[in-house]
Amino acid sequence: MNRPVRSEGVLPARHAPRQTGRQVEVRNLWKSYGRGAYVVRDVSFTLRRGEFLTLLGPSGSGKTTSLMMVAGFEAPSRGEILVDGRDIADRPPEQRNFGVVFQGYALFPHMSVLENVEFGLRMKGVSTADRRRQAIEMIDKVGLAEFTSRKPRELSGGQQQRVALARALVFEPDALLLDEPLGALDRKLRENLQAEIKDIQKRFGISILFVTHDQDEAMMMSDRIAVMADGRIVQMGSPAEVYLHPVTSFVAGFLGETNLLPGSFKGIDGSHAVIEFREGVLGRARLPADGRSRAAGAAVLVSIRPERVHLLPTNGRPHVHDGATVQGSVTGCTFLGRHARYLVQSLDQSLAVSTTEWSPDAALPLGAPVRLTWAAEDAQILGEPDAAPSSLRPARVDGQGEH
């Protein structure tokens, strides 16, 4: 396996992978604190053996509460949690055999690295000789062999996080539960540790349930992402699926910038939907799963990523894509290094266009007339506007009828 050289150190390659991960199944989980409204609503997912599954959502969407219930620190109001098919609802946290790294779950400051990693094994009654051997082995695996006798304050933030990971991994957990474990670190360190966690996961074949509000982190690390809003999972899929084929405007917007174009559903043409956009412009879009049941004339919202909108050159032979071609005028341009971002007034709204083909001499001036085009495959019809999560709608009193 090719990995870039990293300043934070690379794990030794001699440890053979060992498949320790188990399957964790969460079924119809609900949670309200006290008599309050439900903050987790009918959450179901399966963390497969050896899978990296991320709960991604904004602050307050119920990620931590969901993870706490899996860990056993919070009791569900309703629902089941199964490990390899066995219900673990009645087991306290220490009998669930999960490794846990939470943001506020600090190392013991007065204990050395070795003592910190040994601690869980001591609580389990593992003999001194055995736990010492296992702890040293694990510290070595996370690349901290020279630091066993140091105290946490004598380590960098990244090294401390690796000790926390070693402590969670040492008793061969059925799964790792990680709640924003890198949240407090600066970007460079964060990226190094993201790579290391990924590496540990592959090496041990461990199942990881990861929580973050950072979409880039989720995209980079996950096999699958469950996007949460308002206590519910709104979409679950591979990073490419949720990014390229979001089902609601919330998912489209949370996973990056997008253009939302209102239109009306005209019918089906082969494998695409025909959409009439504003100003009577006709276009094509990907046919959604429920496409054939949509009524002609139904209002739709179409999402097109800025990097999928192409500026047509004014000279030469323009390549028009099969989604739509529209007229507009440039209202803004920002150079962002890797790409430039134009704003174009078109279809009675402002469209963002991201292009890597930009140079100072060829930049389009404000007011320049342009034509934009995109492919039908890149135009994604979203769920009906009122299918958006209620966090996008005005607040309302809720949860009372659901007890």
Residues contributing to the site for ligand ADP (CB under 6 A): 33, 39, 57, 59-65
CB-side exposure of 161: number of CA atoms within 13 Å?
A: 23
Q: Are 44 and 226 in contact (CB under 8 A)?
A: no
- 16 or 395, CB closer to ligand ADP? 395
d(CA 260, CA 299) in angstroms, rounded, equals 13
- 234 or 311, CB closer to ligand ADP? 234
- 43 or 364, CB closer to Mg ion? 43
- 22 or 63, CB closer to ligand ADP? 63
Q: Which one of 56-64, 82-90, 218-226, 271-279 is the stretch in contact with Mg ion (CB under 5 A)? A: 56-64
Residue 25 has a CB neighbour count (10 Å cut-off) of 17
- 62 or 237, CB closer to ligand ADP? 62
Q: Which residues contact 277 (CB under 8 A, 6 or more apart)?
A: 261, 262, 263, 283, 302, 324, 326, 347
d(CA 327, CA 323) in angstroms, rounded, equals 14
Q: Which residue is nearest to Mg ion (CB)?
A: 64
- 64 or 148, CB closer to ligand ADP? 64
- 64 or 160, CB closer to Mg ion? 64
Closest contact distance (angstroms) between CB of 62 and ligand ADP is 5
39 binds, among ligand ADP, Mg ion, none (CB under 5 to 8 A by kind): ligand ADP
Q: Check residue 161 for interaction with Mg ion (CB under 5 A).
A: no
Query: Tokens standing for 255?
Result: 């996973």
Q: Check residue 61 for interaction with Mg ion (CB under 5 A).
A: no
d(CA 54, CA 33) in angstroms, rounded, equals 23
Q: Are 151 and 109 in contact (CB under 8 A)?
A: yes
141 binds, among ligand ADP, Mg ion, none (CB under 5 to 8 A by kind): none
**One-letter amino acid identity for 367?**
G
Q: Check residue 66 for interaction with Mg ion (CB under 5 A).
A: no
Q: Are 236 and 218 in contact (CB under 8 A)?
A: no
Q: Which one of 35-43, 64-72, 366-374, 393-401 is the stretch in contact with Mg ion (CB under 5 A)? A: 64-72
Which residue among 32, 54, 61, 64 contacts Mg ion (CB under 5 A)?
A: 64
60 binds, among ligand ADP, Mg ion, none (CB under 5 to 8 A by kind): ligand ADP
Closest contact distance (angstroms) between CB of 225 and ligand ADP is 14
33 binds, among Mg ion, ligand ADP, none (CB under 5 to 8 A by kind): ligand ADP
**One-letter amino acid identity for 76?**
P
d(CA 168, CA 329) in angstroms, rounded, equals 56
Q: Are 29 and 82 in contact (CB under 8 A)?
A: no
Cβ-in-10-Å burial (0-12, 13-18, 19+) of 125 comes to exposed
61 binds, among Mg ion, ligand ADP, none (CB under 5 to 8 A by kind): ligand ADP
Give the DSSP letter of residue 387. G
The residues that touch Mg ion, with contacts defined as CB under 5 A, are 64
